[in-house]
Amino acid sequence: MPTRIPQEERTRQMRRRLLEATVDSLVELGWSGTTTTVVSQRAGVSRGAQLHHFPTKHDLVVAAVEFITERRRSQMDAVLADLPVEGRTRAVLEALSAQFISPVFFAALELWVAARTDESLRAEVDDLERRIGRETHAHAVTLLGIDESRGRNRQLVQATLDLVRGLGLAATLSDDSMRRTAILDAWAITLDHELER
Amino acid sequence: MPTRIPQEERTRQMRRRLLEATVDSLVELGWSGTTTTVVSQRAGVSRGAQLHHFPTKHDLVVAAVEFITERRRSQMDAVLADLPVEGRTRAVLEALSAQFISPVFFAALELWVAARTDESLRAEVDDLERRIGRETHAHAVTLLGIDESRGRNRQLVQATLDLVRGLGLAATLSDDSMRRTAILDAWAITLDHELER
């Protein structure tokens, strides 16, 4: 008797293929090049099935960014398990920064910039970004192993996240990894001086 | 005898109207909404005259971002003349940050993100961004009144610019000025501790 994949599992796999194809399309073709037609072709999913799960481009793109964010979160948990004792701050900065020089960030950036001039997309993306922002902040605090109620710790973590976001934006155009390494080296020393432990 | 505006001056004014209309269009309508037709209508310039000066959308948009960058530079010179002695670092951070939460930055961001997935635009934008980056860095060093060959000064200035770029990106979606103020307050204290004078 052949093994049957239950319907629920097949649906789950199809949704995942659609979301992965959406992310790939955003990364390669940008916002305007990403159409529901392109995505269904890339995912190998029929138009009908796609429209059933994600009726509009907006639904598809917001779900895709949410999906990759979930995946990013589990990657961060893996980082946490592997942090060195020596040079912990620098290792945390590397892990945080890596999130913003990845295809995941490039896809999110396309969504973000499109939302600025698209009222209907904006509320949804704003909400998603706030949620991601809070989670990333909490993660950074855990990774750094600090109490954020002390001194300027909270603001320094926020500044760190805005810094790596700025570095991510710079990395979209050209590979500036040498510059980034020097900046993160200096930032790690600064945090070790300024964070209250 | 009526005063005649010399041809050269009329051309200069027309070019400026076209570039200002391009920036306004990028800010309001984003990259895909900005077409040469929209720009010529907004500027009140005939299609023929526009095409003579800027044959393609790329020419128009790159020239527009360059134009507003020049204007931004003269604003920075005004800031330099007005810096307080007390709280100078915080005032510099305010001035730098203001550049990245302005329509000017939003217009540049549209160009930047479009260039990521557009090979022909990319080299030109990359070049422009490098130039702007170097100038902004030099400006920041002058404003802070530091010698960048000392200690980690150079990296701290670079980090500051990446930080305000990250803050600017966050500001595109929602007004987070309270959060930004707290971060810049904390960063000013940090810079005053860490910069070598």
C-beta separation of A146 from A153 below 8 A:
yes
**B121 pLDDT above the threshold of 80:** yes
Provide the pLDDT for residue B183: 97
Provide the mean pLDDT of chain B.
92
Alpha helix segments (H runs only) across chain A:
7-33, 36-43, 47-53, 57-81, 88-100, 103-116, 119-144, 153-171, 177-194
Task: Compute and round to an integer the Cα radius of gyration of chain B.
Answer: 19
Chain B residues with CB inside 8 Å of A185's CB?
155
Alpha-carbon separation of residue B30 from B54, B58, B110 (angstroms): 19, 14, 6
Q: Say which of A112, A166, A194 has its CB closest to residue B163.
A: A166
Q: Say which of B29, B190, B193 has its CB closest to residue A117.
A: B29
B180 CA: distance to closest CA in chain A (Å): 9
Alpha helix segments (H runs only) across B34-152:
36-43, 47-53, 57-81, 88-100, 103-116, 119-144
C-beta separation of A100 from A165 below 8 A:
yes
Q: pLDDT tens digits for B44-97?
A: 999 999 999 999 999 999 999 889 888 877 777 788 788 898 999 999 999 999
Angle between helix axes B153-171 and A153-171 (nearest 10 degrees) is: 80
> Residue B98, exposed/middle/buried by CB under 10 A (0-12, 13-18, 19+)?
middle
B169–A166 C-beta distance less than 8 A:
yes
Chain A residues with CB inside 8 Å of B189's CB?
152
Chain A residues with CB inside 8 Å of B183's CB?
155, 158-159, 162
**A104 pLDDT above the threshold of 90:** no
Q: Say which of A118, A162, A186 has its CB closest to residue B167.
A: A162
Provide the pLDDT for residue A1: 55
Chain B residues with CB inside 8 Å of A110's CB?
113
A186–B159 C-beta distance less than 8 A:
yes
**CA A75 – CA A27 distance, rounded (Å):** 20
**CA B94 – CA B104 distance, rounded (Å):** 16
B112–A169 C-beta distance less than 8 A:
yes
Provide the pLDDT for residue B97: 95
Candidates A162, A177, A185: best to mutate against B (most CBs of B within 10 A) is A162
User: According to the per-residue pLDDT averaged within each range, which of A75-79, A121-125, B155-159 is highest?
Assistant: B155-159
Candidates B62, B111, B183: best to mutate against A (most CBs of A within 10 A) is B183
Chain A residues with CB inside 8 Å of B115's CB?
173
Q: pLDDT tens digits for A138-152?
A: 999 999 999 999 999
B56 CB-near residues (< 8 Å, 6+ apart): B36
Chain A residues with CB inside 8 Å of B30's CB?
113-114, 116-118
Confidence band for A2, pLDDT divided at 50, 70 and 90: low
Provide the mean pLDDT of chain A.
92
**B130 pLDDT above the threshold of 80:** yes
Q: What count of CB pairs under 8 Å joins A to B?
A: 131
Please report the domains of chain B, with CATH numbers, ordered by start residue. Answer: 7-194 (1.10.357.10)
Confidence band for B124, pLDDT divided at 50, 70 and 90: confident
A126–B174 C-beta distance less than 8 A:
yes
Alpha-carbon separation of residue B101 from A62, B91, B92, B108, B175 (angstroms): 25, 15, 15, 11, 10
